[in-house]
Structure 1
Amino acid sequence: MTEHSHPPVRPEYLKELEPIGDVQLAQPLPLTQRLWNFAPLRKTLLLLVLALLWEAGARWQNNDLMLPGLVQVIHAFVEDTLSGELPAKVAISLSTLIKGYVIGTVLALSLSALAVSTRIGRDLLSSLTAMLNPLPAIALLPVALLWFGLGNNSLIFVLIHSVLWPMALNTYTGFMGVSETLRMTGRNYGLSGLRYVWHILIPAALPSIISGLKIGWAFSWRTLIAAELVFGASSGQGGLGWYIFQNRNELYTDRVFAGLAAVIIIGLLVDALVFSTLEKLTIKRWGMQR
């Protein structure tokens, strides 16, 4: 049995490597630079600077009625939190907000799925959004009063309007941006109707859908506070909006700022715990977003 012969190695592919000398290893970054590259620390420092500016401005103004100091606002916030008044108002607002937000989101997804599936649905979505999306939700307050009277039903109606149209527009835009390759893949598997929307369009358009959820949440949160200023004052009860309105009437400016702080804190918590977690588990994990 003859020995297997290997073809000769061409000389132009032979390259002698020079020995590695002393290699200068990269020096670690200084501690200050490493701390500065830590985003939560930078944001915390910015918040501290803003807090100091607020306290300095309040002391320079020297008028608690116009601008209470940060210490006073924190004291009012803690006092009303421990007494249970502020948590009760937050619970009322959130329970109403979640109902309107969920109903508006379901309607937006359904309308977008209908628009991407049929011509009539597409014409319906474009016509309704052109007419109703520019309409401020607060402008529907008189209509809501006539139709539903005082109470949560009127608030939920206004919240649905504030969530439905931006959410539907974002979702439909995401559906239309799905590549033809994914669309043909779904058709090759025999998907159609709701199965096609659920298995192909929604996963591919998830970045736009989550953006719509964020926008809808912000719109609904602002609309709820503004609506409670009217509905709460009319019915004598309400959530955070009524809390702010009532303390403004009684000239408790520190409690007004405490109510505004509660709105901001809830918004930050929802963004950090709900939307950021949802993005990490889906679009960032799947490589759809950096």
Structure 2
Amino acid sequence: MTEVLYTRPEIVRGDGKKDFLQVEKTLSAFERIYRIGAVRKAFILFVLAAAWEIYGRWLGNPLLFPSFSETVTAFAANIADGTIPARALASIKTLLIGYGIGIVLAALLTTLAIGSRIGADLLETLTSMFNPLPAIALLPLALIWFGLGQGSVIFVLVHSVLWAIALNTHAGFRSVSNTMRMVGLNYGLRGLKLVRHILIPAAFPSILTGLKVGWAFAWRTLIAAELVFGVSSGSGGLGWFIFENRNQLETANVFAGLFTVILIGLAVENLIFATIEKKTIRRWGMQA
């Protein structure tokens, strides 16, 4: 396998045109493997797992910090008896509901913001007021307003997702050049058609960033909310699984719950968001 290092003019022909010479380099087996992103990420994960295992064995206290192998054993045991899959499914269902509602509300706010000055002022005012407010701080009020049910968790999830997505989307829309806007207007695009065909494709890198940040905020808020909500309701997802095993001093199971959250995060980032990025941003030439 060869790689083109650079291209430079070599000779000038009689007609004044230039012939170009491509300077190539033969890649070694190591270089070919190194260029595969999945291999590099797998190596990083292997190093982190090895460091985890070494520190856990050196500490020699599974109650305080179980090793990676002990965590994997606990994880496999909870997978086999169906505990982690059931808890993870409960968490993901709740998260997707809150995440979806947050996306819809963010889309409405940003569409209103780019359509009028009062809409932009409304979005800026609301984000200035509520974005610095930790979502988990609203959980006591949510429990009063919505009771000991799923609605309380969904409420704080929407709060954690909404402002991150709205801010990034609005910033992306504002960064779209006037030239592109004018092209859309010249083609007769107005209102939602302009947003759909011009603004969203042009601002999609910022929108995707907002979706990633919103997803991360939603996970953190969900686990924190379930740690509290699970205590009150006696049921819950991964957060309640972590809390329950902490009370029982099953530290390996606690780490197994955290390990599950990490695995889900890696899967979503590398399978869903990476696929969306390849089919949109990289395909459209917005990113190398």
TM > 0.5 fold call: yes
Matches within 5 A, 1:1-290: 14=14, 28-290=26-288
Deviation (angstroms), 1:234: 0.9
Extract unaligned runs of 5+ from structure 1: 1-11, 16-24
2:120 is paired with a residue of what secondary structure?
A: helix
Farther-moved stretch of structure 1 (258-267 vs 47-56):
47-56
Q: 1:36 to 1:126 in 2, by over 3 A?
A: same
Rounded to whole Å, the distance in 2 between the matches of 1:48 and 1:224 is: 28
Code of the residue aligned with 1:111 in structure 2: it is L
**1:226-281: CA deviation from partner (whole Å, max 9, x where unpaired):** 00000011110000000000000000000000000000000110111111111111
Q: How many residues align?
A: 271
Rounded to whole Å, the distance in 2 between the matches of 1:86 and 1:13 is: 70
Q: TM-score, normalised by structure 2?
A: 0.90
Code of the residue aligned with 1:99 in structure 2: it is I
Q: TM-score, normalised by structure 1?
A: 0.89
Extract unaligned runs of 5+ from structure 2: 1-11, 16-22
Q: CA RMSD in A?
A: 1.8
Rounded to whole Å, the distance in 2 between the matches of 1:197 and 1:59 is: 56
Larger Rg: 1
Q: 1:26 to 1:147 in 2, by over 3 A?
A: closer
Q: 1:65 to 1:200 in 2, by over 3 A?
A: same
The structure in which a higher percent of residues are strand is: 2
Q: Percent identity?
A: 57
Residue number in structure 1 paired with 2:18 = none
